[in-house]
Chain A
Amino acid sequence: MKFIEDSTFRKAFLNLGPQAVNVFVEHFVTVLNKMGFAQGLSHEEAEDAVQECFSVFFRKLPEIHDNVKLSTFLFGIHLNSVREARRRRGKVESHGDLAAIEHLVSQQYDEKGHWKTGVSPKPIDKVLNDEANAKLQDCIKGLPDKHKEAIFLTLSEDSDNKDLCHILGVSYANFRQLLTRARHALRLCLENYVGEA
Chain B
Amino acid sequence: MLTCRQVPDALEKEPKSFKDKVQLRLHLFICERCRALESQYKAISIGLKRLIDTAPPANPELIKKVLEDFKNRKKD
Within 8 A of B (CB), among A140-197: 140, 151-152, 155, 161, 176-177, 179-180, 183-184, 186-187, 190
Cβ-defined contact, A25 with B63, below 8 A: yes
Contact partners of A34 in chain B: CB under 8 A = 52-53, 55, 57-58
Cβ-defined contact, B73 with A152, below 8 A: no
Is B70 close to A, CB under 8 A? Answer: yes
Cβ-defined contact, B73 with A47, below 8 A: no
Q: Assuming A29-B63, A128-B47, A133-B50, is B9 touching A121 (CB within 8 A)?
A: no
Cβ-defined contact, A26 with B63, below 8 A: yes
Q: Identify the closest chain B residue to A34 (Cβ).
A: B55
Interface residues on A, range: 35 or more
B53-72 vs A, CB cutoff 8 Å, 1 = contact: the mask equals: 11111110011011101100
Contact partners of A58 in chain B: CB under 8 A = 69-70, 73
Q: Identify the closest chain A residue to B35 (Cβ).
A: A121
Contact of B6 among A22, A113, A140 (CB under 8 A): A113
The DSSP consensus for interface residues of chain A is helix
Most chain-B CB neighbours within 10 Å: which of A21, A128, A177? Answer: A128
> Whole-angstrom distance between the alpha carbons of A140 and B55 in the complex?
15
Q: A132-B47, A132-B50 are in contact. List 18 more A-B contacts (CB 8 A).
A: A29-B62, A34-B55, A34-B57, A35-B52, A38-B51, A47-B62, A50-B66, A55-B69, A59-B73, A112-B3, A114-B4, A120-B32, A128-B47, A133-B51, A140-B51, A152-B48, A180-B8, A190-B40
Q: 8 closest A-B pairs (Cβ-Cβ)?
A: A113-B3, A113-B5, A33-B58, A34-B55, A121-B36, A128-B47, A37-B55, A125-B43
What would 26 A/B residue contacts be, using CB atoms closer than 8 Å?
Answer: A21-B67, A26-B63, A29-B58, A34-B52, A34-B57, A34-B58, A37-B55, A43-B56, A50-B66, A54-B69, A54-B70, A109-B4, A113-B4, A113-B5, A120-B36, A121-B33, A121-B36, A121-B37, A125-B40, A133-B51, A152-B48, A180-B9, A183-B12, A183-B44, A187-B44, A190-B44
